[in-house]
Amino acid sequence: MHSLEGAVRSYAWGSRTAIATLCGRKVPSDHPEAELWLGAHPADPARVILPTDEKLSLLEVLDADPHGHLGPHTVERFGTRLPFLLKLLAAEEPLSLQAHPSARQAAEGFAREDALGLPIDSPIRNYKDASHKPELVVALTRFEALAGFRDAHRTVALLEALHVPELEPYLGLLAGQPDSDGLRALFTTWITLPPTALLALLPRVLDGCVGYLTGTENGREFVEEVRTTLQLAEFYPGDAGVLASLLLNRITLEPGEGLYLAAGNLHAYLHGMGVEIMANSDNVLRGGLTPKHVDVPELLRVLDFGSAAVPILDAEQIGPFEWRYRTPAPEFALSRVEPGPGDEVVIAPGGPQILLCTHGAVSVECAGTTVDLDSGDSVWLSHSDPETVVRGRADGAQVFRARLGELPALSRD
């Protein structure tokens, strides 16, 4: 067991207060802090703190002894890379409209861009690695997001409620075929509108949104969706992604609730702080709401246009003080541990694990060594570490436990 130091990622949409406050640092921070990476992704690995206070990249630690840290079963299944990446995420402003590829799409895309000679750090490269990127976010604060295409019939009702004559030709694409094909046709048309057509349509749609919020003849069914579209237009004026937001489910997570996003799910996180875990990948296909590289043809290739409500995940209690968020991803599992003062939670050995304290204080004991974790602190548990005990040190202690997903029983041989 070793203490772990995460890597802070600064993006314009990040917060100057959220991560710094959770980690007990000065507020406001010098730069917007969007993410704290706790993993071994080559772009920004966390650092393992040795007893001598020397700090080593977790990537280097794993490279030196992959079987000892990851376990032979993990290496056999996933290779010598840590299969998951754990993050703190703090969105003060909306993130880009994006989706992630499937495993097959990622492997093909990575090989294709390699063959074209695109450097890994090229700003126009879509595939930074050959892995898919299923992900789970669990809210630490109220967390707002857009995720997945809304039921087509409800989207028709929303667009009709805006009373925008200029929308009629586009509305017909969906009203005449209220299914995944109709959604594909409408989304593709909007996201590829020529600039002159977009500049003519978007202001009329925004006027319709204002009218919906201020009018007395409308119901209140789509208030949050319409308000979100207006907010996005303020952040990204003239962006086709603002129109696309009208097609997506508007989701609010309360603290402790989770959202799982499989390959092809079009989404955008809007505001809030959460713990995020994903397959160890940085593959993102963007469609708008960003100054970064946008590749619409590639995005369309990976999108899932099936329409349905995206379920909010509640954790399932698996022990006296532990709750797990179940997903189908084999690369990761995430659970929430909340021991009271003096309460103990036994962490079974086997495979790589990371413990991240997000509130209060706990102590972690492993092989005769005890590490105290306060909010923002984390530890690395290797496959070779024996049974570990987490003890609460204060009221309200909360620790997130990242480990492998559902796999056959791990061997310790």
pLDDT in tens, the chain (413 residues): 999 999 999 999 999 999 999 999 999 999 999 999 999 998 899 999 998 889 999 999 999 999 999 999 999 999 999 999 999 999 999 999 999 999 999 999 999 999 999 998 898 999 988 889 999 999 999 999 999 999 999 999 999 999 999 999 999 999 999 999 999 999 999 999 999 999 999 999 999 999 999 986 667 899 999 999 999 999 999 999 999 999 999 999 999 999 999 999 999 999 999 999 999 998 999 999 998 889 999 999 999 999 888 899 999 999 999 999 999 999 999 999 999 999 999 999 999 999 999 999 999 999 999 999 999 999 999 999 999 999 999 999 999 999 999 754 433 33
Distance CA 334, CA 193 (A): 41
Residue 406's pLDDT is 78
Count Cβ atoms within 10 A of the Cβ of residue 164 and give its class: 0-12 exposed, 13-18 middle, 19 or more buried. buried
Is 207 in a helix, a strand, or coil? helix
Catalytic annotation on 125?
no
Active-site annotation holder among 9, 125, 250, 286 = 286
CB burial string 203-223: b at 16+ within 10 A, e below: eebbebbebbeeeeebeeebe
Amino acid making up residue 41: H
Distance in Å from the first CA to the final CA of the chain: 19
Residue with tokens 């067991």: 1
Question: Does domain 2-146+253-287 fall into CATH 2.60.120.10?
Answer: yes
Is 407 in a helix, a strand, or coil? coil
Residue 221's nearest CA partner among 164, 297, 165, 153 is 153
Distance CA 10, CA 128 (A): 19
The domain made up of 316-403 has a fold known as Jelly Rolls (2.60.120)
- pLDDT tens digit string along 33-58? 999 999 999 889 999 999 888 999 99
Distance CA 49, CA 43 (A): 19
